[in-house]
Structure 1
Amino acid sequence: MFSVALIGAGRIGQIHAANIANHLQSSLRYVADIHPDSAKTLAKRHGAEVAGVEAALADPAVDIVVISSATDTHAELSERALLAGKAVFCEKPIDLDIERVRQCVELVRQKEGKMMVGFNRRFDPNFAHLRQSLVAGDVGELELLMIHSRDPGALPIEYLKVSGGMFRDMSIHDFDMARWILGEEPVRVHATAASLTDPTIAEIGDIDTAIVSLQCASGRMAVITNSRRAAYGYDQRIEVHGSKGMLNVANVVESTLVKSTVDGVVSQKPKHFFLERYSDSYRIEWDHFIGALKGEHALWPSAEDGERALVLAEAAVTSLRTGRAVELNWV
């Protein structure tokens, strides 16, 4: 049984707390949060204790630290947990500054630590099935990947101000998915974007609508489309075009009901947002992490995966600013 300290009792922390508590091989021991009432409520819900970060890290009974606090705390808390000899599960991104991320990755290497980054979409059963089919050669060699990721609406402007921008905050999931499905690193990144959904987003220097193209040394390409507004719900689709066919994952809808009448045929809308759409992936993600700590399989996505996704995000930012494609050298 792995004993867990959770730092961050917000909406992602609440998801992780439930999955930790419900897993047969983990238990939630401590909850820490800068808001005492939030920590108290979540701890009480799962039979845990409220503790400060220092106390939780100092407890030798704690095996794992889960970090779901504000982004600007991720790197420091990860390093403190690694230095305390704990395994670390850290929500994305590790940090908004690539050099700070690299410092954290280097510490993982030096300490031979266990650190997983929360790119939960890899564990969505539908996306995982797509990748398994691709790896099995069902559609031949991948030639073109399309990732569509669109939110039902923008997050609060106060959050967006400190988010690091759309590419680092939202699109980073798609950069990780692209790397994972392509099976090789993109070496060329080109981005075009605008602010179309809310003038306030433009006022803070951010974007809400974007297309990013990636190309690998092999010639394989990926296109990512992002938007902060999808009137019909949370739009999450992936298409792989291969030499022998195509793979496609459609949206997960609210129900499978289809109404057919003289007026037409109507199906249900996509699930509203990530909490509903990816609930299974968060549970499977935690099970994977526990299995990796038990030595049943490799631990991924790793801290290095977190670094490389942010490299692509930074390249997209640079491309948008300069209007030119950015060439990457992964040596």
Structure 2
Amino acid sequence: MLNIGIIGAGRIGKLHAQNIVAYHRNVKIAAISDLFYKNLSEWANGLGIENLTGDYKDILNDPMIDAILICSPTDTHAQISIEAAKAGKHIFCEKPIDMDPDRIKEVLNCVKEAGVVFQVGFNRRFDKNFRGAYESVREGKIGKVHVVKITSRDPEPPTPEYIQVSGGLFMDMTIHDFDMARYLSGSEVIQVYATGDTLVDKSIADLGDIDTAAVVLKFENGAIGIIDNSRKAVYGYDQRIEVFGSEGCITVSNEINSLAVLSDKNGVLSEKPKYFFLERYKESFINEIGEFIDCILHNKKPPVNGVDGLISVLIAQAAKKSLQSGKAETVYL
């Protein structure tokens, strides 16, 4: 039996807890820590989780706990990762590890020294549709990759309180797309050009951020990447990719709740995309934790490691620099 502790029981922490209980055998949630743990009793009891605490160190100091999930606020990820590695715990850390590359490197050094599994929460790699596209590209079915196009648009912008601590659009939202671009292209990003503005909610500009962006990537293998982001798509959660190559093209469209399409004299009507990321990526969240567990039990390397987390932050920083300079910026890996 693998004993897991979860640090942070907000939206994503609760999701992982529920998925572990429902879908992963031979795994027990031994404890959950959260600053507001006293409000979690009814929810935790419903999942059969008895041990709640307000101090994450209780989890790190428990010799019976084998691994942890870090689902706490971003500014705590690095410190908890370092402490967890020193305590010999295997670590699943939500993105980003930190907003400072030097701090991330410190984490990676501690993880390497401790010899523990360290996986970063880029869940989209575990989506069956995107993984199918990835496998087709790797098998050479579309030839040499020329262009990777990613559309990622949220249904609603986050709260001002969230934006203030998010690190900005590129670090919070586009970071998933940077990782997906590397994943699909099979190559590293060497240059970034970014432009953007506040077209959805002008109050976001007051917080020093943007809500709409377009990013052009140049890959080491010569391919080009194009990412477009918006904090608000009125029709739902818009998640599409296309990889174009010398011998073909592969696309992934939005998931919808029903494949039924109504055609009549007024036109053709189909369902809108799934509305929220928890719906769209439900299976991917289950799969990524399954992979983490499998890596621990079978001494395997995680499919998304700390270096992947570091590189995506470096690309996000270059994108922010490009937005400010109005020029293409080099990504220094």
TM-score, normalised via structure 1 length? 0.97
Select the residue among 156, 165, 168 that pairs with 2:168: 165
In the alignment, residue 28 of structure 2 is paired with which amino acid?
Answer: S
Q: Does the CA contact (< 8 Å) of 2:117 and 2:301 recur in 1?
A: no
Q: Which residue of 2 aligns with 1:248?
A: 251
Q: Secondary structure at the match of 2:319?
A: helix
Q: Determine if the alignment matches structure 1 residue 122 to structure 2 residue 108.
A: no
Q: Which residue of 2 aligns with 1:257?
A: 260
Between 17-26 and 276-285, report the one with greater CA deviation.
17-26
Q: Which residue of 2 aligns with 1:4?
A: 4
Q: Which residue of 1 aligns with 2:193?
A: 190
Measure the CA separation in 1 of the matches of 2:331 and 2:125. 24
Q: Number of matched residues?
A: 330
Map Cα deviations across residues 160-183 of structure 1 (whole Å, 9 max, x no partner). Answer: 011110000111000111111111
Alignment RMSD? 1.2
Q: Which residue of 2 aligns with 1:306?
A: 309
Q: Which residue of 1 aligns with 2:30?
A: 29
Measure the CA separation in 2 of the matches of 1:41 and 1:177. 37
Q: Which residue of 2 aligns with 1:55?
A: 58
Between 226-235 and 107-116, report the one with greater CA deviation.
107-116
Q: Does the CA contact (< 8 Å) of 2:117 and 2:295 recur in 1?
A: no
Shift of residue 107 of structure 1? Answer: 1.2
Between 116-125 and 209-218, report the one with greater CA deviation.
209-218
Shift of residue 295 of structure 1? Answer: 2.2
Measure the CA separation in 2 of the matches of 1:38 and 1:256. 40
Measure the CA separation in 2 of the matches of 1:59 and 1:112. 19
Between 71-80 and 18-27, report the one with greater CA deviation.
18-27
Shift of residue 268 of structure 1? Answer: 0.2
Measure the CA separation in 2 of the matches of 1:161 and 1:170. 14
Q: Which residue of 1 aligns with 2:47?
A: 46
Q: Secondary structure at the match of 1:255?
A: coil
Measure the CA separation in 2 of the matches of 1:30 and 1:40. 12
Q: Determine if the alignment matches structure 1 residue 205 to structure 2 residue 192.
A: no
Measure the CA separation in 1 of the matches of 2:217 and 2:26. 40
Q: Which residue of 2 aligns with 1:14?
A: 14
Select the residue among 166, 169, 181 that pairs with 1:178: 181
In the alignment, residue 261 of structure 1 is paired with which amino acid?
Answer: D
Q: Determine if the alignment matches structure 1 residue 266 to structure 2 residue 302.
A: no
In the alignment, residue 45 of structure 1 is paired with which amino acid?
Answer: G
Structure 2 unaligned spans of 5+: none
Shift of residue 25 of structure 1? Answer: 2.5
Q: Determine if the alignment matches structure 1 residue 239 to structure 2 residue 242.
A: yes
Measure the CA separation in 1 of the matches of 2:43 and 2:86. 26
Measure the CA separation in 1 of the matches of 2:316 and 2:46. 37
Measure the CA separation in 2 of the matches of 1:305 and 1:217. 16
Measure the CA separation in 1 of the matches of 2:79 and 2:248. 46
Measure the CA separation in 2 of the matches of 1:38 and 1:71. 22
Q: Evaluate the alpha carbon distance shift between residue 96 and residue 38 of structure 1 in structure 2; reply closer, same or farther with a 3 A threshold.
A: farther
Structure 1 unaligned spans of 5+: none
In the alignment, residue 50 of structure 1 is paired with which amino acid?
Answer: L
Map Cα deviations across residues 117-173 of structure 1 (whole Å, 9 max, x no partner). Answer: 000000000000010111111111111000000001101111101111000011100
* 4+ residue segments displaced more than 6 Å: none
Measure the CA separation in 2 of the matches of 1:196 and 1:31. 40
Measure the CA separation in 1 of the matches of 2:227 and 2:39. 36
Measure the CA separation in 2 of the matches of 1:326 and 1:112. 35
In the alignment, residue 78 of structure 1 is paired with which amino acid?
Answer: S
Q: Secondary structure at the match of 1:171?
A: helix
Q: Evaluate the alpha carbon distance shift between residue 41 and residue 8 of structure 1 in structure 2; reply closer, same or farther with a 3 A threshold.
A: farther
Between 91-100 and 143-152, report the one with greater CA deviation.
91-100
Q: Evaluate the alpha carbon distance shift between residue 42 and residue 64 of structure 1 in structure 2; reply closer, same or farther with a 3 A threshold.
A: farther
Give the fraction of aligned pairs with identical amino acids, expressed as a percent: 43
Shift of residue 329 of structure 1? Answer: 3.5
Q: Which residue of 2 aligns with 1:88?
A: 91
Q: Which residue of 2 aligns with 1:294?
A: 297
TM-score, normalised via structure 2 length? 0.96
Q: Which residue of 2 aligns with 1:284?
A: 287
Measure the CA separation in 2 of the matches of 1:169 and 1:328. 18
Shift of residue 109 of structure 1? Answer: 1.8
Measure the CA separation in 1 of the matches of 2:121 and 2:46. 23
Measure the CA separation in 1 of the matches of 2:46 and 2:164. 32
Q: Secondary structure at the match of 2:152?
A: strand
Q: Determine if the alignment matches structure 1 residue 141 to structure 2 residue 144.
A: yes
